[in-house]
Amino acid sequence: MKFMTMSIFPVSKAADISAAQEKLVREYPSEGRPATGFLMMSVPFDVPPNSMVTVSIGESDSAEDMAARVYPLILAGADMSVIPLLELPIGGMVEAEKKYRS
């Protein structure tokens, strides 16, 4: 399952967040799945001044696996949001949406 994670943290915590992220990359290799990062060109919502926002999309086999990846970042000082993503085929989105809603 794919998840989008968004973290918001003060600039003063950037070194701690970076260290926690590097440790997680070593502990949870991508196993052939590319890790994708995105740079947001706008502020998504009420972000405190002097804060950094990161957004990434990754795959995990379970919610527990994703929680294990996010928890160290929370301990390092990041405010994390984890959003499950639903993949819909581009050509058949209407049919797929009807299937998932029923």
Name which CATH class applies to 2-101: alpha beta
Residues constituting the chain: 102
List, for residues 18-72, the tens digit of each pLDDT value. 888 888 777 766 555 555 555 555 556 777 888 888 888 878 888 788 888 889 8
Q: State the DSSP code for 68.
A: H
Whether the model clears a pTM of 0.85, i.e. scores above it, the answer is no
Sequence-separated (6 or more) residues with CB below 8 Å from residue 22: none
List, for residues 15-26, the tens digit of each pLDDT value. 888 888 888 777
CB 58 within 8 A of CB 36: yes
